[in-house]
Amino acid sequence: MPARPAELAAVDTSTPAVVLKLDRNVFHHGGLGVIRSLGRLGVPVHTVCEDPLAPAAASRYVCGRWRWNPGVDDPHRIAAGLALMAQRIGRRAVLIPTDDAGALFLAEHGAPLRQWFLFPAPPPDLPRRVADKYELHLLCREWDVSTPRTMVPTSPSEARDFANQVGFPLVVKQIRPWCPTYPAGSPSTRLVRTPEQFAALMAGWPDGPGCRDAPGLMLQEYVPGDAGADWFFHGYCARDSACRPGFTGVKLRSYPPHAGLTSLGRAVDNEPLRREVGRLLTGLSYRGLLDLDLRRDARDDRYRMLDFNPRLGAQFRVFEDAAGLDVVRAAYLDLTGQPVPEEQPCPDRRLVVENYDLLAALGYRRRGELDLRGWVRSLRRMDETAWFARDDLAPFGLMWLRSGWRAFRRPFRPAARDPVGTAPRYRPGPARNRIPAPRAVTGQHRPIDTTTSDGK
């Protein structure tokens, strides 16, 4: 195991951590980042996984694997499953959601779980408001934060009028991407480049009064920008809503190209952007982990807010300051009552998500924006890889095996999944020896804390 950074050598790691994932995506690399970040400190880490061959669950740093598919539509089912997990873990644990559905559940329905789990307490309605793409647009206008022109059309004619006004390319977003009402596998963000593509999209759009919520889609102008215009911000806000730490970086490639998740990212300090985001977070009284996407507009050099994810960002490991602090470690320290070290400068670090960047490179190549030599040159110096790690090889190998099997199987039939509602099933992980001896969890715990820092 790699040695702890000197500044974190005295951290008390006796409190377990649970990685909560409700989204059925076995290739979610953010959860693996949490497992490794805390596991390398010596924290006992449990993780929720879809099936026994989920790559992240194979990490040598996993103490307990919980095979569980609770769905996202029944809060009582999720709460009951987490209570069952708490009985087995046997002590209070830090709970870290890696998707929107998990973050929204904890904010709105998590109060009774505080006797077993430690997690931030933002205003209950705030995570849903910022995760909702149109609500975020309204919040940005309220707080004088720059945002692209946006519309939720009620008819194809309104949509066409907006497209004619802002021109092409045009961005089409799912308003609430965590909802199960969207077709499986459909992208949450699409870049519509031509009027012909837009006409094909409109062919399936509902018409008539009252259909504003039916499609669940909104239209947004495409913000023009040069190379390096796509920025992201990762941070953790404690009870006073001060963001410590807060990191800024540049999205060098994404999948799908220009409209998806970061496949190649770089840590770049941007103090003006950090100040602007910090002002917004303090004003909103935000608490917890966050991941923002912004784009610098070539027309006026202002940063337009594109997305606010009220949870961990999958590429968070691109950021680690000189003291070894990342946002997940900061959250663990704060939630367990330990001091968070003063943020130190974050070196120039790069991260690649191996499976997605291969697909991204093919997409950029089709557009004439990248050739093989340029792709290989861009990968010469990597500080962090999402899947490959010399001290933890199993997830990397299993990820490529699962990717190959999925590509082979796709033309024939969909993979079988556990039915929604199955209770979580426990299996010990490779790091099982770190798990304290289980003891029954009774109701005799500290009182449930549903208060915020201002006592409300």
Angle of helix 354-366 relative to helix 394-409, nearest 10 degrees, comes to 50
Separation of alpha carbons 41 and 3, rounded Å? 8
* pLDDT for residue 201: 82
Token representation of residue 237: 């806000």
* pLDDT for residue 9: 81
Separation of alpha carbons 18 and 83, rounded Å? 12
* pLDDT for residue 417: 57
For residue 183, the one-letter residue type is P
Query: For every one of its 456 residues, what pLDDT tens digit does the chain have, with 9 covering 90 and above?
Result: 666 676 788 899 999 999 999 988 899 999 999 999 999 999 999 999 988 899 999 999 999 999 999 988 899 999 999 999 999 999 999 999 999 999 999 999 999 999 999 999 999 999 999 999 999 999 999 999 999 999 998 888 899 999 999 999 999 999 998 887 776 667 889 999 999 999 888 876 655 433 444 448 899 999 999 889 999 999 999 999 999 999 999 999 999 999 889 999 999 999 999 999 999 999 999 999 999 999 999 999 999 999 999 999 999 999 999 999 999 999 999 999 999 998 888 889 999 999 999 999 999 999 999 999 999 999 998 999 999 999 999 999 999 999 998 887 776 665 555 566 679 999 999 998 765 544 444 433 333 343 433 434
Angle of helix 100-109 relative to helix 75-89, nearest 10 degrees, comes to 90
Separation of alpha carbons 266 and 289, rounded Å? 19
Residue 47: strand, helix, or coil:
strand
Token representation of residue 278: 């910090």
* pLDDT for residue 205: 65
* pLDDT for residue 451: 42
Cβ count near 371 (within 10 Å): 12
* pLDDT for residue 178: 87
* pLDDT for residue 210: 37
* pLDDT for residue 238: 95
